[in-house]
């Protein structure tokens, strides 16, 4: 029931499970989490202590498939020897050095490798930061300062898509399209117009004031795995180019193989003006982000000090993160990660179809490469009352069958490390099927 063989709880006289939980509830504040529910005496948090491949292990020795890749970050599995070795080798040299006024070899090499992913030399400049939100924040500030320095200060507005998610720093939050997360903060950020489609974008009357359009290409993750129509991204690129508007692609979730290619934009041969990367950049090991920019945008920041981009973080281009990122790209090449994805994507597609056919609780399934969502609804097709928290209940039940994942509302997210094999994909769907049955009734045949 717990995946692979369960071990005994690790014995540690000074740090047992109850001690860790007590410390957590006394001092820790968890993201996106109602704290009263977390700190309820009846709530026993899962304490994760080890990872190996696609598996995570808790302090009781129970093993679970990492079904959402540790919040969409892990690419090649946990404790991958190539990435481990790269980090260990860098640790023996230097763990961190400032990138303000200095350089280091790994940042130089990584920037070259990232630029080489676009062989037409269109995205040649790499600005490092810490996470997906700051990668987006960089792009937004660059886009505004570019307009100021090019005599287009009137272009001070952005366009974003409803139900999109671009991070939680103030500028990125102002472009977030999920009201529950961002509505209270929008007035403190950038001017923004929200649209649902390319048609609504074309109809805007303020296009002459728009500096940039931001989108999660091919699929919105936080919007319950909403997949954009085929060809939409290419049309968006053509329209923004025609209007002199910068296209900002948020590939924080979709980058590094998630959609079947290294970057989602490559499916439609689109090159943006800004490409925002994080999460899988280091293989899911360490915080590191990159904003890739066209050379002509970089050129607008050349000149005297007044034109410089005054933005940065203490851990910008952290050498350990760069070491992990270079090792991750090495693994892509050595293990032919992208070449092996079509068969896994096909298996995932077939399993989703079988699950929808088997369970009356599965209203729909959505997939983009190795990103999938299973939306649960009542038998009549109506959404469950929000206070039932069905998605949470199903994910909690799935732990009993060796699967960890999180829902978005009542959509179960399936987004495992790309290293997952056929048996482990089967395990995911067996666990989800049983968890749905346990939560909503015995109405789905086990796959």
pLDDT band at 8 (very low <50, low <70, confident <90, very high): very low
When the pLDDT of each residue in the chain is averaged and rounded to a whole number, the result is: 94
Q: Among all chains, which residue has been given the structure tokens 């206070």?
A: 387
CA gap 376, 339 in Å, rounded: 32
Is 22 within a domain? no
56 backbone dihedrals φ, ψ, rounded to 5°:
-115, 155
> Residues 274-297: pLDDT tens digits?
999 999 999 999 999 999 999 999
pLDDT at 233: 98
CA gap 211, 236 in Å, rounded: 14
pLDDT at 216: 98
Query: How does DSSP assign 341-379, residue by residue?
Result: HHHHHHHHHHHHHHHHHH-TTEEEEEEETTEEEEEE--T
Rounded mean pLDDT of 154-173?
95
Is 367 within a domain? yes
pLDDT band at 9 (very low <50, low <70, confident <90, very high): very low
| Dihedral sign (CA 15, 20, 22, 26) | positive
Closest among 79, 72, 76 to 336, alpha carbons compared: 76
pLDDT band at 180 (very low <50, low <70, confident <90, very high): confident
pLDDT at 18: 94
Closest among 422, 446, 221, 226 to 355, alpha carbons compared: 446
Q: How many structural domains is the chain composed of?
A: 2
In percent, the amount of the chain with pLDDT more than 70 equals 95
Structural domain span for residue 231: 83-334
pLDDT band at 177 (very low <50, low <70, confident <90, very high): confident
pLDDT at 15: 61
Relative to beta strand 226-227, strand 246-250 is unpaired
Closest among 319, 261, 311 to 288, alpha carbons compared: 319
Closest among 273, 283, 367, 360 to 53, alpha carbons compared: 283
pLDDT at 185: 86
Spacing of C-alpha 341 from chain mean position: 18
**Whether the Cβ atoms of residue 325 and residue 110 lie closer than 8 Å to each other:** yes
Stated pTM of the model: 0.94
Is 25 within a domain? no
What would the two tokens of residue 63 be? 């093993």
> Are both 206 and 180 inside the same structural domain?
yes
> Are both 276 and 360 inside the same structural domain?
no
> Residues 392-422: pLDDT tens digits?
999 999 999 999 999 999 999 999 999 999 9
Is 27 within a domain? no
Helical pair 81-91 and 319-334, crossing angle rounded to 10 deg:
150
CATH at 361: 3.90.1150.10
pLDDT band at 270 (very low <50, low <70, confident <90, very high): very high
pLDDT at 341: 98
> Residues 182-236: pLDDT tens digits?
888 888 899 999 999 999 999 999 999 999 999 999 999 999 999 999 999 999 9
> Are both 347 and 294 inside the same structural domain?
no
Residue 12 reports pLDDT greater than 50: no
Is 357 within a domain? yes
pLDDT band at 7 (very low <50, low <70, confident <90, very high): very low
Interior angle at CA 116, CA 115 and CA 121, nearest 5: 70
Closest among 357, 367, 362 to 436, alpha carbons compared: 362
> Are both 416 and 397 inside the same structural domain?
yes
Rounded mean pLDDT of 46-53?
97
> Are both 134 and 239 inside the same structural domain?
yes
CATH at 94: 3.40.640.10
Helix, strand, or coil (residue 136): helix
CA gap 65, 79 in Å, rounded: 14
pLDDT at 77: 98
pLDDT band at 336 (very low <50, low <70, confident <90, very high): very high
Last residue of a domain, one of 334, 350, 366: 334
Residue 446 reports pLDDT greater than 80: no
- What are the CA-CA distances from residue 429 to residues 57, 120, 188 (Å)? 19, 41, 43
Residue 129 reports pLDDT greater than 50: yes
> Residues 222-263: pLDDT tens digits?
999 999 999 999 999 999 999 999 999 999 999 999 999 999
CA gap 277, 253 in Å, rounded: 8
> Are both 419 and 300 inside the same structural domain?
no
């Amino acid at each position: 029931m717990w995946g692979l063989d369960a071990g005994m709880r690790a014995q540690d006289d000074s740090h047992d499970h109850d001690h860790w939980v007590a410390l957590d509830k006394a001092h820790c504040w968890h993201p996106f989490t109602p704290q009263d529910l977390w700190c309820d005496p009846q709530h026993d948090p899962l304490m994760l202590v080890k990872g190996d491949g696609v598996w995570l292990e808790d302090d009781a020795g129970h093993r679970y498939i990492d079904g959402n890749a540790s919040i969409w970050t892990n690419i090649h599995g946990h404790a991958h020897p190539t990435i481990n070795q790269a980090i260990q080798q860098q640790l023996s040299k230097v763990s961190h050095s400032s990138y303000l006024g200095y350089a280091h070899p790994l940042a130089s090499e990584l920037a070259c490798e990232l630029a080489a992913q676009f062989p037409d030399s269109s995205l040649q400049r790499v600005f490092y930061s810490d996470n997906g939100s700051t990668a987006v924040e960089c792009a937004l500030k660059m886009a505004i300062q570019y307009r100021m320095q090019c005599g287009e200060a009137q272009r001070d507005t952005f366009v974003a898509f409803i139900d999109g998610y671009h991070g939680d720093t103030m500028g990125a939050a102002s472009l977030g399209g999920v009201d529950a997360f961002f509505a209270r903060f929008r007035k403190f950020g950038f001017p923004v117009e929200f649209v649902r489609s390319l048609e609504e974008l074309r109809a805007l009357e303020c296009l002459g004031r728009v500096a940039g359009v931001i989108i999660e290409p091919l699929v919105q993750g936080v919007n319950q795995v909403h997949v954009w129509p085929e060809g939409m991204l290419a049309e968006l690129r053509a329209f923004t180019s025609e209007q002199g508007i910068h296209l900002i692609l948020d590939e924080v979730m979709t980058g590094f193989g998630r959609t079947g290619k290294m970057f989602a934009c490559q499916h439609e041969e689109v090159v943006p003006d800004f490409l925002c990367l994080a999460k899988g950049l280091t293989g899911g090991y360490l915080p590191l982000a990159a904003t890739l920019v066209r050379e002509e945008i970089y050129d607008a920041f050349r000149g005297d000090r007044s034109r410089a981009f005054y933005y940065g973080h203490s851990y910008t281009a952290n050498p350990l993160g760069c070491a992990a990122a270079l090792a991750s790209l090495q693994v892509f090449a050595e293990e032919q990660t992208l070449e092996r994805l079509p068969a896994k994507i096909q298996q995932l597609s077939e399993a989703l179809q079988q699950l929808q056919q088997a369970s009356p609780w599965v209203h729909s399934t959505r997939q983009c490469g190795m990103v999938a969502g299973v939306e649960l609804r009542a038998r009549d097709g109506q959404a469950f009352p929000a206070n039932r928290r069905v998605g949470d209940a199903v994910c909690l039940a799935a732990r009993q069958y060796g699967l960890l994942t999180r829902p978005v509302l009542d959509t179960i997210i399936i987004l495992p490390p790309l290293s997952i094999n056929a048996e482990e994909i089967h395990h995911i769907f067996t666990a989800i099927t049983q968890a749905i049955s346990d939560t909503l009734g015995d109405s789905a045949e086990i796959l």
